[in-house]
Amino acid sequence: MKNKILLIDDDEDLLRSFQVMIESKGFDVITASDGKDGYTKLKNEKPDLLVLDVMMNTDLEGYNLLHVIKQEPAYKKIPIILLTGMIDKLGVNLISGVEDEEMLPNVHFQDKPIDPQVLVKMIQDLLKE
């Protein structure tokens, strides 16, 4: 059975390029272009891993969604790759909060831009753990 990956990002071009690359490596991919749709798909599709952009329609939409997800026991253990260019855009460093294993377990910070092949490797490594 293929692992299922949920990609949430408001950049449609980036979303599609990541989807094509990840699917080419044998994963099933579900996409969402905002946090609300992403949360619905998380509940309905039960992915094995989530790739979440921080900066979407609102500056912290992805980060807020991350906190909602990690508050629910059913999703606490799901690995999440958090993509952000926030340090460049806002001068805000969220790494310390993201890397707090008690507060946000199984969250892995990755700065944008990211090479799609590097993202695929991260996904493969996290699903092996």
Structural domains present in the chain = 4-128 (3.40.50.2300)
Burial environment of residue 13 by CB neighbours within 10 A (0 to 12, 13 to 18, 19 or more): exposed
Which pLDDT score, from 0 to 100, does residue 112 have?
Answer: 82
Which pLDDT score, from 0 to 100, does residue 64 have?
Answer: 86
Instruction: Tell me the average confidence (pLDDT) per consecutive run of 10 residues in the chain, 129 residues long.
Output: 94 93 96 93 96 75 85 91 68 49 71 89 92
Which pLDDT score, from 0 to 100, does residue 58 have?
Answer: 63
Burial environment of residue 49 by CB neighbours within 10 A (0 to 12, 13 to 18, 19 or more): buried
Which pLDDT score, from 0 to 100, does residue 106 have?
Answer: 82
pTM of the model: 0.85
